[in-house]
Chain A
Amino acid sequence: MRVPILKQSQYVIASIQSALSDEDLLQLRDDLAQTVGRYRSRGVIVDVTVLDVMDSFAVRTLRAIAHMIRLRGAETVIVGIQPEVAFAMVQLGLTLEDVTTALDLEEGLAHLERQTAAGAAHVK
């Protein structure tokens, strides 16, 4: 199932709706890289609230997405990791070291607002 990608002002939101196969994840990666360029977005939010399992491939792909988006000039925030998933990930050593995470969509958007506000202030 393809992940819908929504545009919300200067950000795009990838809202995962069901468990994803490896192909779906790679598709999401490619779609996001393209969409960010098309909309000239400043930030990307990947919402993983519905996922109750996160394997190493999923975590690796999320990291890859974050790195790619950074190279495309935008920020990535992963939001909605469930308590059980967070604990399982840490036990497997999958800690998403250099990726920003937030509690939920609202928090993720607030984080991006702050980031872009800081960036804008810098430009002025």
Chain B
Amino acid sequence: MSTELRARASEVGSPGADATAALLRELVAHLRKNRTQLREEWARRITESKLLTAMTREEIFAEATSVYDNYVEVLETGSVEALQAYARNLSERIIPRGVETHEVLGIVLLLRDVLARSLFKKYQADFGLLNSVLDAYEPAANRIANTVAVGFVQERERIIRQQQEAIRELSTPVLQVRDRLLILPIIGVIDPQRARQLTEQLLRGIRSNRAKVVVVDITGVPSVDATVANHLVQTVDASRLMGANVIVTGLSSEIAQTLVTIGVDLSKINAVGDLQGGIEEAERLLGYTVTTPEPKPSEKQS
């Protein structure tokens, strides 16, 4: 069969569609025949390269078997849909276990290499035929590697989007602690969209609670960049337009340094060290005084 194929391939000059299909069929038969040996070789090389360290040897072997069968199927049918679905499913299972992109890409490329080696071995006597076989094999193999890698990355991106959404939905409450005094505790990363949402909530809160002073506490904000800092300044300005004073509390030393380094104009921001200090300052602005009640005479005697 090999010689016949070779004859056909050389006849056309470069292998045409028919010849490629025939070569792929032969390839698939070869891969089916040597399934056990090639699969083991592949699993061995995965372990050797210290890939997929998050998984046990048995798990690697089981996944390797599925990937191998899918791989052969794609070579046979030329349709990547089943493989796509499998790649998505696989990614869903392994991403939570901390498997990285380079590992997934690495194992698919390893499989490609293992199979290419076995082809070299089989056709080494006949260089021309080897060439034709590789011509048929390489585009298909690259397409498979591509499909798996893209599937993995897409799944990761989907998870990242999902988590972003979850963070966004963590609403930030605007709390009234005293008459005309609001607190806005901000926790987590602020992106421009969230910053905008926060400002809108705060301004609405100022109107509905008739607030005079607002304490914005950013103790729970890990870092601040120029955009967020500017947004803080804008929020302060907008609140002032509505007749409310803003006190910002909980600026960590790192954030203070960043703000000074990027040169945000903070002259308009009234900053107080911590939330307690902020509330005290707000009470002062509102004219509240907090006093400890005088001990009762009976308590004095004891």
Contacts and interface: CB of A to CB of B under 8 A. Distances in A.
Do A and B assemble together?
yes
Nearest to B207: A83
Interface string A66-110: 000000000000010111111101110001100001111001100
Interface stretch (B145-153, B198-206, B252-260): B198-206
Contacts of B238: 83, 86-87, 89-90
Interface residues of B, number: 19
Contact of B240 (A91, A101, A107, A108): A101
A90 B234 contact: yes
A91 B234 contact: yes
B183 interface: no
Contacts of A103: 206-207, 210-212, 242-244
B206 A87 contact: no
Contact of B243 (A84, A89, A102): A102
Interface string B212-246: 10000000000000000000001101111111100
Q: What bracket does the count of chain A residues touching chain B fall in? A: 10 to 19
A82 B235 CA distance: 14
Contacts of B235: 90
Nearest to B241: A86
A108 B210 CA distance: 13
B241 A101 contact: yes
A82 B241 CA distance: 9
Contacts of A83: 200, 203-204, 206-207, 238, 242
A101 to B, nearest CB: 5
Interface string A107-123: 11000000000000000
Contacts of A91: 234
A49 to B, nearest CB: 10
Contacts of B199: 87
B241 A96 contact: yes
Contacts of B200: 83-84, 87
B282 to A, nearest CB: 16
Contacts of A87: 199-200, 203, 234, 238
A81 B237 contact: no
A81 B234 contact: no
B181 to A, nearest CB: 14
A113 B207 CA distance: 22
Report which residue of A85, A86, A101, A107 has the largest number of chain B beta carbons within 10 angstroms of its beta carbon: A86
B241 A107 contact: no
B236 to A, nearest CB: 9
A10 B221 CA distance: 48
19 contacts: A81-B242, A83-B200, A83-B207, A83-B238, A84-B203, A86-B239, A86-B242, A87-B199, A89-B238, A90-B234, A90-B238, A91-B234, A96-B241, A101-B241, A102-B243, A103-B207, A103-B212, A103-B243, A107-B212
Interface of B: 199-200, 203-204, 206-207, 210-212, 234-235, 237-244
Given A83-B204, A87-B234, 8 more contacts: A81-B241, A83-B207, A86-B238, A87-B199, A90-B237, A90-B238, A103-B211, A103-B244
